[in-house]
Amino acid sequence: MTEAQVGPAAGPAAAHAAGPAAGSTASAPSHEGPVHLPATALHDRHRAVLPDWLALYYRRPLELTHGEGRHVWDADGNRYLDFFGGILTTMTAHALPEVTKAVSEQAGRLIHSSTLYLNRPMVDFAERVAHLSGIPDARVFVTTSGTEANDTALLLATAYRRSNQILAMRNSYHGRSFSTVSITGNSGWSPTSLSPLQTLYVHGGVRTRGPYAHLSDAEFIAACVADLEDLLGHTRVPAALIAEPIQGVGGFTSPPDGLYAAFREVLGRHGILWISDEVQTGWGRTGDHFWGWQAHADNGPPDILTFAKGIGNGMSVGGVVARAEIMNCLDTNSISTFGGSPVTMAAGVANLTYLLEHDLPGNARRVGGLLIERLRAVGAPVPAVREVRGRGLMIGIELVKPGTDEADPEAAAAVTEAAREGGLLIGKGGGHDSSVLRIAPPLSLTVAEAEEGAAILERALGRL
């Protein structure tokens, strides 16, 4: 991959003038389309017809019009280095020619059929995902989102185990459907206490906060396992434990490697299934492994694996992988109208092919390792930076009020605004009022672009 030397952007306007993305194969598209009204007018229209709870970033919300490589442009012509990828969804690159070509060609033949007909692109995709999952005798059900994937996993687990009890991790997030918000362990994203499930929450998803934070890694795992054992001694046997190997919305927090393997020993004795929510960690984003569960792989793959986001590179693709006996446990008919559509499956196959042929997981490991060390150096002199954590191209910077452990969402908002002014888009998250900066660029990020983004963040953090 090309690692063109591009210096730090002076701001969105300067970045726009600088030309196309580093490492891109073509100049920036002109996109001569309709004249765009000011963002304020579009924001007024948004508020008039869309829900109040539909969150928007930035004091002046941003309208993105096009992208290429690791960059996007807004309606005013400003160019930004994209370190969030539409919530980790533009996994490979914006306007990746291999994916856009596959989508265009398939759309020219057939856009939709539903699962009532044989679908060659879906079979091709499912065969590859089943093999990559590591789950023996795997079956794949394709959905349109991560929420729907996790919802299906809960349906399978509760039907298979004949139990409506679910174990989930504190600070977790699993989607916005009625069932997935009811197991989400982050109150900021769980708008109702009503639930079709009985959810019990387990320690372990956050290493540096909570009652076990002072322990060594081995002691931390032992304490969390003891907590799980104690919990199971006071309840009916749950159907499954669902866990994100790295908590996404929770602020890119994670337990020590091996925790879920230790949990698996306990779960196995009770016949409880393990669901690994790989919606954000899958496809090599963590660099060290293709799946997040592989950091906890002492005793094999999960019983159920869910995926979404990045595999479609912007197209609506999600899914569930499970052993045949679990996937086939439903005794009623079911279909998916839009899941596994020919167009989205063409995108998924093309994107997966590009990912593997260009070793983007390896690039995430190499460039991500450099980026996280650079950001640790950037954060070290800043009193508001409590921790820089992550793995591969999945990095979190937690901000607190200096001299305390108290979360500082205002500081996170200020840095996010300053980064935008400097020409960089990042995300926010965390179980403590969105006080964590979330950094998750496309996996094709170059070393030069990593340095450029780190320099913008250094200036943004310096303004605190």
The predicted model scores a pTM of: 0.89
How far is Cα 44 from Cα 432, in angstroms, rounded to an integer?
A: 30
Residue 60 is given by DSSP the state: S
393 with 445: CB under 8 angstroms? Answer: yes
Q: What is the pLDDT of residue 418?
A: 98
Residue 155 identity: L
Q: What is the pLDDT of residue 37?
A: 58
| Residue spans of the chain under pLDDT 70 | 1-37, 432
Q: What is the pLDDT of residue 9?
A: 38
Residue 429: enclosing H or E segment and its boundaries? Answer: strand 427-429
Q: Please name the residue that has the structure tokens 């991790």.
A: 169
In the numeric block, which tokens belong to residue 386?
A: 């409590």
* Sequence spans of domains, the chain: 100-357, 360-464
CA Rg, the chain, in Å? 22
Q: What is the pLDDT of residue 191?
A: 82
Q: What is the pLDDT of residue 20?
A: 35
Q: Which of 2, 4, 7, 1 is nearest to 451 (CA)?
A: 7
* Helix pair 342-357, 120-133: axis angle to 10 deg: 40
Residue 232 identity: L
Q: Which of 323, 336, 155 is nearest to 242 (CA)?
A: 155
Q: What is the pLDDT of residue 189?
A: 81
Residue 92: CA count within 13 A, CB half-sphere: 25
DSSP conformation letters of 355-395: HHHTTHHHHHHHHHHHHHHHHHHHHTT-TTEEEEEESSS-E
DSSP conformation letters of 394-414: -EEEEEB-TTS--B-HHHHHH
- pLDDT, tens digit, 9 for 90 and up, residues 176-231: 998 999 999 888 888 887 888 999 999 999 999 999 999 999 999 999 999 999 99
How far is Cα 262 from Cα 298, in angstroms, rounded to an integer?
A: 9
Residue 418 is given by DSSP the state: H
Residue 180: enclosing H or E segment and its boundaries? Answer: helix 178-181
Architecture of domain 360-464: Alpha-Beta Complex (3.90)
Collect all residues with Cβ–Cβ distance below 8 Å to 118 and sequence separation of at least 6.
none
Fold of 100-357: Aspartate Aminotransferase; domain 2 (3.40.640)
